Amino acid sequence: MLSEIDKSDPIALHEQVASQIRRAIADGEAGPGERLPLARDLAAVLGVNRNTVLRALHMLRDEGLLEFRRGQGIKVTGTRQKSDLLAQVHELVATARRNGYRKSELIEMIEAVKG
């Protein structure tokens, strides 16, 4: 379930929107092959501008989660698992930033994990 965006949050609005949609897919609210609501409607529900929503959706397309087709709308292509993973990745990077760690340090930590 999508909830309204917090405009006082220092995190950019389109990032918040992207996070919510990632989570929604991860939670199974929209499965692979399904069509997403219109950007206009998403914008209305989330209380932000349609351009902000589009910016977020384009990010998710770059992550391999969505597919755009003119006149056809936006289709989910990624799996719940992938969406879940991407959500965790973004949360991790956000935590790192908050605490002054760089992505490179994060990557070192991951590489140090055995297996």
Contacting positions for a second copy (CB under 8 A): 59, 62-63, 81-82, 84-86, 88-93, 95-97, 99-101, 103, 106-107, 109-115
How many angstroms separate the Cα of 33 from the Cα of each of 19, 43, 50, 78?
A: 20, 22, 23, 9
> Which residue type does 36 have?
L
* Options 4, 28, 31, 40; binder of DNA; rule CB under 7 A: 40
Extract the tokens encoding 101. Answer: 């760690």
| Of 72 and 110, CB closest to a second copy | 110
Name the 3-class secondary structure at 11: coil
Answer yes or no whether residue 18 interacts with DNA by CB under 7 A: no
**Least Cβ distance, residue 21 to DNA (angstroms):** 12
Q: Are 20 and 3 in contact (CB under 8 A)?
A: yes
Query: Where along the sequence are the contacts to DNA (CB under 7 A)?
Result: 7, 10, 12-15, 36, 38-40, 47-52, 54-55, 57-58, 68-74
